[in-house]
Amino acid sequence: MPPAYSVSDYDRTAAVAYAHKWAYGRNPAYYDFQNIGGDCTSFASQCLFAGSGVMNFTPIYGWYYRSLQDRAPAWSGVSYFYNFLTRNTGVGPFGIDADVTQVEPGDFVQLATIRPGFHHTPVIVRIEGAPSLRTIFVAAHTGDVDERPLSTYPVQKLRFIHIEGVRHPL
């Protein structure tokens, strides 16, 4: 049986433009998670949505936001975001667990900084030359930043998510 979707490119320019526009503000269309655990992954999801244009409304395991009470764990949870993107075989954006040489603007990095376990999801907005911690610049919420060098974070561990494309329902 043929797939029930078409595949398109991820619009990295749109994702990065969204990141720059909202890095120091909050889009009123989305709840601000700042005071209940942090807004970084919701901000990453907003950037991803700006570049993909489609959500996956699969209950529990999808990636979507309708409201604070009606959203998938992957919208605002660091590990759920990673699991959705690296395991998604259905509608919506999909990616791979990548190494630093594979990333591009519009991709994501997840960090373990001051405590064990991944807990922060910045979006990559610029790379100067060959990708490295010194040449990658990010935008994020919960510690609002734009154009922050990745090398300035006190990184214990990190992982990169490279977005490969977007599946759209037919």
Domain residue extents for the chain? 7-169
Confidence (pLDDT) at 4: 86
Fill in the amino acid letter for 71.
Answer: R
Answer CATH for 7-169 from 3.30.70, 2.10.260, 3.90.1720, 3.30.67: 3.90.1720
CA distance 109 to 111: 7
Write down the pTM of the prediction.
0.96
Confirm if 165 and 93 have CB atoms less than 8 A apart: yes
For residue 151, what pLDDT is reported? 96
CB 106 within 8 A of CB 51: yes
Q: Are 8 and 15 in contact (CB under 8 A)?
A: no
Low-confidence ranges of the chain (pLDDT < 50): none
| Phi, psi angles (nearest 5°) of residue 82 | -60, -50
Q: Which residue's structure tokens are 């409201």?
A: 67
Per-residue pLDDT, 35: 87
